Amino acid sequence: MTPSFEAYTLSELREAEMTIDRAAYPERVVEIQRLIEERESELARGGFVQSGERRKPGRRLVTIRRLTGKTVLAISFVGYASGVMFLILLMGLAGAFGFDFVEWNGQIVYGWEAIKTTAKILPFAVALAGLSAALLTYIGLRVFAFFSPFEIEVVELDADHES
């Protein structure tokens, strides 16, 4: 039985090309190399490659050259900012109960003042942490994309769901 190489991702095709017994399956080697060339040329044109492989209904694996800066920054900022916001609110709550977590102008603040102080600090800390982490993530992904395409799993919208 011949494997269906059409369903392989680009990285799976590359792995298959390296590990296949070339003497026993020369026709498979030719097919694998053809599929790799097709997918790499599509990536070079700035497109994306659908592997054809279905994970779960409504999900598929896609190989892309890179993500847009807006997408990376938005995802990273929301992720990091929400984590920092939760942590700062937790510290304010702990300060309200007498723990030494909140400091303002060199003095430890307790009780209701700890909660008010964290409310003052929150927007600046969230913006600083979120933007710096998002920027570093963006730079890291750009460097990674220079060397290798990405494979991401795409979850498609349902027919009933509107964007």
Tell me how far apart the alpha carbons of residues 128 and 113 are, in angstroms, rounded to a whole number.
23
* Per-residue pLDDT reduced to its tens digit, 37-86: 888 787 666 555 555 554 555 666 777 878 888 988 899 999 989 999 99
Domain positions in the chain are 5-65, 69-147
Number of Cβ atoms within 10 Å of the Cβ of 120:
10
* Per-residue pLDDT reduced to its tens digit, 93-133: 998 898 888 888 888 888 889 899 999 999 999 999 999 99
What is the CA 152 to chain-centroid distance, rounded?
8
**If pLDDT is split at 50, 70 and 90, which confidence band does 151 have?**
confident
Tell me how far apart the alpha carbons of residues 150 and 35 are, in angstroms, rounded to a whole number.
17
User: Residue 28 corresponds to which tokens in the numbers above?
Assistant: 């498979």
